[in-house]
Amino acid sequence: MNYRKCNPLYGYRWFVESIKLFVSQPWPWLALVGVTLLLLLVLSLLPFMGLVAIFALFPAFAAGFMVASRTAMDHHPISFQHLLVGFRASPRPLMTVGVILFLIFFVAVLIILLGWRVEFQHLVALMQSETSDKEIIVSAAQQLTRPSLMVLAVLFLLTIATWFAPALVMFHRVEARTAMFLSFRACLSNFFPFLLFCLLLFLLDMATSLLLRQVIKLVHGIGGEQFASITTMLFTFPVFCSFLAILFAAAYISFMDVFEFKPSA
């Protein structure tokens, strides 16, 4: 498949249009994302296989959100049925994407842990000690700055390899490894639009956090600490779901601009 390199200002379009798509049907979006998060949370309770299952199933869930986004763009209602679309239409390639992601992540983290094994063991021992000085723990954690940055780098690479992959598998029947390779190359080619999109999303996150903090402070002054804690839980989860919904919508809108563009005659 062909993809194009978009103007950096497309990042602004992805940001604005994804918010519009979410606002067009906010409650169904929140319900879909909330249910997905709860399912993944239940899987995370399983020791090791839970993590494998999360990696394996997430691309199929993401494909469902791509279909939901296309449905919302066509001004049709979205529903819980969209969560299962990926499992029905292309379960094997989508789960293959997830398994490949897990294997890369597992091997990379294993290499990092083995390379800095002594430092990690020292930090864990300090954190478990009742007499440890907080400054000593901070100092030990600073020794792990390099492996921490390496983990972040691995997560970044996996993210761009996954960004377009579910949509490519779902809408164009692209094979799993090819979809990840195309997603990786297309994201790198559109680095500056994504950089602008991430910057705008970060500013939105900062503004939302500031507003939420002020609301909680006001509630704390009116109803006390316990009431403020309940309010925090009631507001934080929907806000987090909103941001994830915007990310899924942005993945679809950017997919349309990068892969489903109409060449000029």
Alpha-carbon distance of 41 to 54, in angstroms, equals: 9
Q: List pLDDT tens digits, range 161-174.
A: 999 999 999 999 99
Question: Under a CB-based contact definition with an 8 Å cutoff, are residues 197 and 11 in contact?
Answer: yes
Give residue limits of the domains in the chain: 11-97+154-259
* Buried-state track 19-58, b at ≥16 Cβ within 10 A, e below 16: bebbeebeebbbbbbbebeeeeeebeeeeeeeebbbbbbb
pLDDT number for residue 265: 44
Per-residue model confidence (pLDDT) at position 19? 96
Q: Report the pLDDT value the prediction gives residue 241, as an integer from 0 to 100.
A: 93
Residues 80/35, Cβ–Cβ less than 8 Å:
yes
- What pLDDT shows up at residue 166? 96
Q: How far is Cα of residue 197 from the mean position of the Cα atoms in its chain?
A: 14
pLDDT (tens digit, 0 to 9) for every residue of the chain, 265 residues total? 789 999 999 999 999 999 999 999 999 999 999 999 999 999 989 888 999 999 999 999 999 999 999 999 999 999 999 999 999 999 999 999 999 999 998 988 888 777 766 666 666 666 666 656 666 666 666 666 777 778 788 889 999 999 999 999 999 999 999 999 999 999 999 999 999 999 999 999 999 988 888 877 777 677 666 666 776 777 788 999 999 999 999 999 999 999 987 755 4
Res 217: pLDDT: 76
Q: How distant, in Å, are the alpha carbons of 10, 85, 242 from that of 93?
A: 29, 13, 28
pLDDT at 227 (0 to 100): 64
CA distance 46 to 143: 31
Convert the pLDDT of each residue in 55-80 to its tens digit.
999 999 999 999 999 999 999 999 99
Per residue in 30-49, pLDDT tens? 999 999 999 999 998 988 89
d(CA 132, CA 237): 34
